[in-house]
Structure 1
């Protein structure tokens, strides 16, 4: 697969936007940044790639503020103004999976188990949340819940860490993401997940896969399959976008310039014509 770097500046108008792992209903959801992002973009298609609402957390305790309302209202407004919206439930909002495989559309939002996205350049991508390729979630739900509790503790520490950084005039940095990068087991688990998802895309005969679930935003070529993870809105605060020419870009909203609403660019790839 011929993939070249595209160093064009970010645009506010996209052919498609992919978001996942927002975890509305939790204190660590950066709904404020996501609402800012949504106010500053337009797109033909919006893909909500799972764990948009955190049903696991809401079962234990209720947390919802004005920023969470803003996110929901902005998504609904996009649907009313012509954006096609696809909701692919994840493991934290698995309650919506009970409505599948029936075709369901509410307020312009289509509920799907998986979808195939075709870019402007004709590339085909399988779009799914990805938890079905996570052996812990799939085969040991109890262990997954224990892991979720430990992750919650890490996010609480992360919240205090960034409060101190704000008081010192320093930008947001994800301590929990840094900790994951230092743990060999976590890196190995990420590699196994990426390989499994890419293998499924290869089996389906598509050009690549777009997913979420592991909160690790990245674009990479895995033996001819383009693996793209759009990250999350708890740690990396990132979104995957397709430009109108079919190029794919990963945007980082943690260092968003609040006066302009312009995100920084994590990675950008262009498929040349005929590639």
Structure 2
């Protein structure tokens, strides 16, 4: 019996950070297996090239790339928008093969409205002037995620709920809150000036949908969040945007990832299989 997959017009995913300890690759794979999108936009920091190491590249992380490639072969259009952690891919901007393309930003026409989509690191001052500081912060963030994982293991053992240390820090530190507000306001101002109806970003790991109004007009600001802390994405169907949240998706949570066949292959075998499927894309 063929499994039912929920149809979605557009899915926007960002900040997966494949190659880091904090990435929830298996949960993302469960989500992807429940949907049938016409277009999937990978809005930056999908692969964390900053912290990439051959010593840590789990099978589940390779399976994400493999599964997205298989979606291509089944007719889903895939747009990879570069971010700061995968900025090395910017040298390939403009590359297209079948339904796959690499871009810095895109504008989508959705039911008569324009959606401006980009990662958002262009607004980050530390990225523009102190990349070494931003990289140092990324390492510290990954370490905090490791500590958080251990803390949640202890809490689970004691029968208590999970916590997010990084989220608590961001929510309590005034400078972090101000940065998020400034980021959202800047994105909205530029979008309004250019006549866009929607502006979609990632980068700050803060999922949101809200209308921002200024003296010049208004725009719907959206952020897809991440797959490290929030496990969220943006979905567009029936002429409206919604935030997808894995924590409330009882269907995706029950998806069992096979431990047999292709799922048990090593990364090299998965890579070869992925390339074969990619070459079949028309």
Contact 1:15 1:242 in 2 (8 A): yes
Whole-Å separation in 1 of the counterparts to 2:201 and 2:158? 35
* Shift in alpha-carbon separation, 1:45–1:134, aligned structure 2, 3 A: same
Whole-Å separation in 1 of the counterparts to 2:39 and 2:115? 14
Contact 2:51 2:139 in 1 (8 A): no
* C-alpha deviation, 1:128, in angstroms: 0.1
Identify which of 192, 196, 204 aligns with 1:202. Answer: 192
- Structure having the higher helix fraction is 2
Counting only pairs closer than 5 Å after superposition, residues 59-98 of structure 1 correspond to structure 2 as: 62-98=55-91
Task: Report the counterpart of residue 115 of structure 1 in structure 2.
Answer: 106
Cα distance per residue 1:221-262 (max 9 Å; x no partner) = 11111110000001101010001x21100011134422269x
Q: Answer with 1 or 2: which has the greater Rg.
A: 2
Q: Does 1:128 align with 2:118?
A: yes
Contact 2:170 2:177 in 1 (8 A): yes
Contact 2:30 2:255 in 1 (8 A): no
* RMSD of aligned alpha carbons: 1.8
Unpaired segments of 5 or more residues in structure 2?
A: 257-282
Aligned length, in residue pairs: 246
- What SS does structure 1 have at the residue aligned with 2:116? strand
Counting only pairs closer than 5 Å after superposition, residues 1-275 of structure 1 correspond to structure 2 as: 12-58=6-52, 62-100=55-93, 103-106=94-97, 108-119=99-110, 121-223=111-213, 224-243=218-237, 245-257=238-250, 258-259=253-254
Cα distance per residue 1:33-78 (max 9 Å; x no partner) = 100000001111000000000000016x641112112211111111
**Structure 1 segments of 4 or more deviating over 3 A?**
168-173
* C-alpha deviation, 1:193, in angstroms: 0.8
Task: Report the counterpart of residue 8 of structure 1 in structure 2.
Answer: none
* C-alpha deviation, 1:171, in angstroms: 5.0
Whole-Å separation in 2 of the counterparts to 1:252 and 1:57? 26
Whole-Å separation in 2 of the counterparts to 1:176 and 1:254? 18
Whole-Å separation in 2 of the counterparts to 1:247 and 1:37? 20
Unpaired segments of 5 or more residues in structure 1?
A: 1-10, 262-275
* C-alpha deviation, 1:161, in angstroms: 1.9
Whole-Å separation in 1 of the counterparts to 2:160 and 2:67? 29
